[in-house]
A and B are shown apart, each in its own frame.
Chain A
Amino acid sequence: MRSAFTEETAERRVESTPLSHVSIELGHLYMEDYAKGFEHIRAQFRLVAPWVETVRSSVGGKARVSTCFLIDDYFSQFGSPDAVVPMVIAAAGETGLTIDYLAREAGCARSGEVDVARLVLDRIVADPAPGTNGARPPLVKSGWLCNGRRGPEAGGFEAMGAEAQWHPPVQNAARRHSIFVDVELWDEPDGARVWSCPYLASVWQLMRLGLLRDHGKPVVRPVPAAETLPSDWETLPSLVQLNPKAQPFSAYRTASVLPSRFLPVELAVRTILSQVAVDPEVLHQVAGRAHGERLQLADELVDRVSYVFL
């Protein structure tokens, strides 16, 4: 006789999300850009537009492509959604771009009940410096993440009063010479934690790659845009679907068309992403789907993230 016995509390249920082939980010603006008004924003989108076409054509005409735009409402809030969002949509539209999904940066810190930033923080496995053998807890400097071994503290003194000898910081995976990167993940100026821009941008990449789950459920789901937009940012859903015919928000890989001024931020993003261990079940799921579609999917997360810097 064959018998089966299972317990629900013993099972892990990980929901899968719909996936496009590629998710294209249509640039990014700082607060001062919005302050400069419609003309300036349209000029920014005009720079982005031809490269979006290049990315589209590089993946083939039949590929599922979705576009997205991230509005920074975390570090400073300006205007109101009912004023800013239509302006952004119109500026993009005049350059031939359609924004399928609009996201709020604050949603990368917290989305509804989900502490998304914390979720990712708990999945960081710090890049170990040579000599790390597990005997001691990982060397972490609270709020910072680096890709190697830091140099000694400035102004540090060794025993007997001798001034500490300077040692250069070293990158763990250096190709002969180091490019040492040390990223601030957060600070707490008034006791409340403020996540850094690169940290939230890393969360943003993970969302676009469809790799984040909270208790097995996707952390954000696109909400169709309401007929009228709210007047305050908090009321706007973390992820709004502006185009009803859009392909899925998350994708096997991401492409971001960004001004070159974001290059340092994205280097920091890659430093963080290189140290995030995504739920193996989710990775497995996505890899299985890619295989089913006969797609080549990079094993390493950072290799699923690409850029066009303007």
Chain B
Amino acid sequence: MLIMGEVHTGLLRNLGELSETECREVLRLTSGEEPRTWQRPLLYAISPDVLTGVDCRLPSSSGARIRGTGTVSHRATIVGGRVLQGSSYTTLLRSDSDQRLPWSHYLAAPGVVEVYGRPRWQDMADGFVTPEPPMDVLNVGAISGRLMGAVQDSARLDRKTPFKTTRTRLRWLFERDDARGDGRPAMRLTLGRDTMRTLRFTGEPTTDVVAFCEDLALHDWLLTTLQTLIQRALIGTAAPAQIAARLSPAIDHLLHLWMPGARVEEPFLPFWEELERHPGFTRQWTSSVARIRDQITVNTLSLLSVTESRREADGDPSPRRGVPQDRTQSHSHPVRRRIFFRADQRSRRRS
């Protein structure tokens, strides 16, 4: 028995953040079926599960031709009215039959793909996490991708994004604890060279497997996106106002979304704890957030010093309301003042 899936994560194509009602509208993929939403600890919306039928070759690292028939479940989620996830998954089980049965048989057990013959689970598992599997094998990633596209095409969205981001993909594979006994780690997360991540882990199968993978994919995307924003901000090279402008989307749209494990049930929390120890997701996040806030502070201080210097030039000695006088004075170095002023002008023209 194996459970395999792929989660795609990206920014929802809408300038503003969606409300709970709007999330419901966007995720209403099946008539007569209402998406579910949560307000605590942050807005979270999930579409009903939808099924896709497959009858095809299954992944195999040895190149063996194994065939399976059944359905792949998929669902879309919106986190914080801002981040969209397309998630598809299926459970592979051994078929009692050597031949294809009537389709009603497979619909009686939704989200299961039956494997013909004697399945070699390890071979299939290894094949699934191969970066580029053959074209004709089960492609759950394509199903997630199409689902993302279908939601992004919703008439409710204005199809504009507040900043550029990249979609990340988490391909995951879950094995029952007793499937392996080779002493290898119970979880292995690999960051690929591009936007692909792979996760292999073991445990007792429950429905929460998918929720854990979606939670991990979300936080990996948040980290990836935050890192990209920081890189693009050219800290240390660009002017503080420019840096602040490039970092502001993080403050507006991302920072409040960081809640690892918030939607993960008890049995999967140890996996998060492990990821926090090594490599330390929250460690990197906290340090990045601190870096962003420092940059914004530097820019604020520089703006204040510009204001002060203007006032001095105008011969107005009275401090502006709400601005602590001692702070503005302490940053009124003539050379820096000039540089900041130019940067300030540039950013204004641009906007």
Residues of A within 8 A of B (CB): 5, 7, 9-12, 114-115, 118-119, 122-123, 125-138, 147, 172-173, 213-216, 219, 273-277, 279-280, 299-303
Contact = CB atoms under 8 A, between A and B. Distances in A.
Given A12-B36, A122-B30, A300-B107, 10 more contacts: A7-B38, A9-B20, A9-B36, A119-B32, A122-B31, A125-B107, A126-B53, A133-B56, A134-B140, A137-B146
Contacts of A219: 32
Given A10-B36, A10-B37, A172-B100, A133 B138 contact: yes
Nearest to B30: A122
Contacts of B104: 273-275, 300-303
A130 B53 CA distance: 10
Contacts of B40: 5, 7
B98 to A, nearest CB: 13
**Interface majority SS on B: helix, strand, loop or mixed?**
mixed
6 contacts: A7-B40, A12-B34, A114-B32, A131-B56, A273-B104, A301-B108
Contacts of B142: 134-136
B57 to A, nearest CB: 7
A216 B103 CA distance: 26
Interface in B4-52: 20, 30-34, 36-40, 51-52
A129 B103 CA distance: 10
Contacts of B100: 130, 172-173
A274 B137 contact: no
Given A10-B38, A277-B107, A138 B53 contact: yes
Contact of B39 (A7, A122, A299): A7
A212 to B, nearest CB: 8
Contacts of A280: 110
Given A9-B36, A135-B139, A173-B100, A128 B108 contact: no
Interface string B251-268: 000000000000000000
Nearest to B72: A134
Contact of B55 (A10, A130, A147, A277): A130
Given A172-B100, A173-B101, A125 B52 contact: yes
A118 B55 contact: no
B261 to A, nearest CB: 16
Contacts of A300: 102, 104-105, 107-108
A141 to B, nearest CB: 15
B102 A215 contact: no
B36 A129 contact: no
A173 B67 CA distance: 14
Contacts of B38: 7, 9-10
A215 B108 contact: no
Contacts of B54: 128, 132-134
A61 to B, nearest CB: 31
A287 to B, nearest CB: 10
